[in-house]
Homo-oligomer: A and B are copies of this chain.
Amino acid sequence: MRVRPEDLDRSDPEGAIAAAAKRVSNWGRWGPDDVRGTMNFLTDERRRSAAGLIGTGQSFSLSQSFDMDGPQKGWRRRTNPVHTMLDTGTDAVAGVQGFPHGIGGADDVIAMPLQCSTQWDGLGHIFDHGRAWNDRPADQVVTGLGDAVTGIETVADVIAGRGVLLDVGRAVGDPAGELPDGFAITVEHLEQTIESQGGTSAVGRGDIVVVRTGRLARARREGWGDYAGGPSPGLSFTTVDWLHDTELAAIATDTWGFEVRPNEFDVAFQPLHQVAIPHLGLFIGEMWDLDALAEACAADGVYDFFLTAAPLKITGAVGSPVNPIAVR
């Protein structure tokens, strides 16, 4: 029996979250000391077999840009990245750098929220009633010093394997391949997409699924507007069992927040995160740019590829910018 959005009691997110958490919990699945959650599904063997997906050798960056023309508007101090120069070509030409034999240099720094653009949520990013992944007390995991247990560095070496694009925007959206804001992607939509895309789209254990909604394409055309935090298509809370049962290693979307916005309860904030991260131990990617890849997949009907999406190895980070590379 499958839960549908209309079955949700909109007045009781807490109950729905608790029930879902009970159904899908992976706590203890990989032992009490586990720090990698669903990334455990991505084994060397799966990575090896994913190598066979490289066909033409064409590579795609699934990263949005990191610059001041980004979607952030300051909510909870999330700014767009501020990139400044330490040394410049103008300095070099002006002859003020003081280096010998005609060498000149440019160098730069950045200040940015780790989740300002294309990013991974780490397992320390979200808690449920004070519990972090694998039933750890959140205040023993993430302090002002960072995430001492499940920092993003714990998965720095493993996020490479089979990627599968589910282009829900094209499969069930408008002719431009876009879903409207507030559109809740259900399991039916995911299955319909897989079916319409054909055999390369079957998803299962250890896969990294990337779901295209078309939301970014719309932002690119119309301006950022409320891309960061405002209305958006996204996964329905009701997909939580599918996320569990498919045993994905990770999932990412071309939206700010992965879930449908507004959320599917009267008063709520990212309820699917509250189950998926601390209970499933699932890695979630946000603000990925899937448009060019989707064009290529649509052109030849092949929707899986070799994906490397390595977070920066920032000790104790609860998220990380990433430049995912799909090779097909």
Interface residues in chain A, defined as those with a beta carbon under 8 Å from any beta carbon in chain B: 13-14, 17, 43-52, 54-61, 63-69, 74, 76-94, 96-97, 99-115, 117-118, 124-130, 132, 137-147, 153, 156-160, 265, 267-271, 273-274, 306, 308, 310-319, 321-325, 327
Contact B92 A156 (CB under 8 A): no
Q: What residues of chain B lie closer than 8 Å to A58, measured between beta carbons?
A: 44, 47
With A86-B77, A312-B323 known to touch, is A96 a contact of B61 (CB < 8 Å)? no
Q: What residues of chain B lie closer than 8 Å to A68, measured between beta carbons?
A: 74, 77
With A103-B269, A128-B102, A137-B93 known to touch, is A56 a contact of B44 (CB < 8 Å)? yes
Contact A107 B51 (CB under 8 A): no
Distance in Å: Cβ of A172 to nearest Cβ of chain B: 28
Q: What residues of chain B lie closer than 8 Å to A319, measured between beta carbons?
A: 107-108
**Residue in A93, A140, A308, A319 with the greatest tally of chain B CB atoms within 10 Å:** A93
Distance in Å: Cβ of A32 to nearest Cβ of chain B: 18
Task: Give which listed residue, B43, B84, B106, B137, contacts A86 with CB less than 8 A.
Answer: B84
With A47-B327, A127-B92 known to touch, is A118 a contact of B313 (CB < 8 Å)? yes
Q: Which 5 A-B pairs have the closest CB atoms?
A: A48-B57, A89-B138, A89-B142, A51-B54, A61-B157
Instruction: A188 to B306: give the CA distance in the assembly, Å.
Output: 37
Q: What residues of chain B lie closer than 8 Å to A89, measured between beta carbons?
A: 124, 127, 130, 132, 137-143, 147
With A45-B57, A111-B82, A160-B308 known to touch, is A90 a contact of B96 (CB < 8 Å)? yes
**Residue in A76, A90, A268, A319 with the greatest tally of chain B CB atoms within 10 Å:** A90
Instruction: A111 to B82: give the CA distance in the assembly, Å.
Output: 9
Contact A113 B109 (CB under 8 A): yes
With A90-B139, A310-B61, A327-B51 known to touch, is A318 a contact of B107 (CB < 8 Å)? yes
Q: What residues of chain B lie closer than 8 Å to A156, measured between beta carbons?
A: 61, 63, 323
